[in-house]
Amino acid sequence: MTTRSIGTYGEDLARSFLNNHDHAIIDRNFRWRLGEIDFITRKNRSLHFIEVKYRRTRDYGLPQESVIKKKQHKIRRTALLWLQQRRLPVDSEMHFDVLAISKDIRGRIRYEYIEDAF
């Protein structure tokens, strides 16, 4: 598998997970020159900006460990741009979440959804 196909596979798993957990997907892969947000969803009255991390193995640690401060900062700035483009108030109830997806030693998919991760 190529890096791109692995990423696409992880995002497809994430989309299914989010749909099954009452998240209405508003936007996906929102990009601009300084950052990207994998999923933007609405659940109840809140906006969720979600970073998806998928790992096939734990050789490099847990997926969520790769969402470092620099990445968090980029996601926050990108979220502000997204809100401005849609003329939504910055004081909307927002959550910055991480969806960590990995395989256990038996090859089963494991999900860890971390709301308000940063």
- Domain residues of the chain, as ranges? 3-114
What is the architecture of the domain spanning 3-114?
A: 3-Layer(aba) Sandwich (3.40)
Residue 8 pLDDT: 87
Instruction: Return per-residue pLDDT of the chain as tens, 118 residues.
Output: 787 788 889 999 999 999 999 999 999 999 999 899 999 999 999 999 999 999 988 888 999 999 999 999 999 999 999 999 999 888 779 999 999 999 988 989 999 999 999 9
pTM listed for this prediction: 0.92
Angle at 30 between CA 117 and CA 58, to 5 degrees: 45
Residue 41 pLDDT: 98
CA distances from 29 to 12, 41, 69, 108 (A): 12, 12, 20, 26
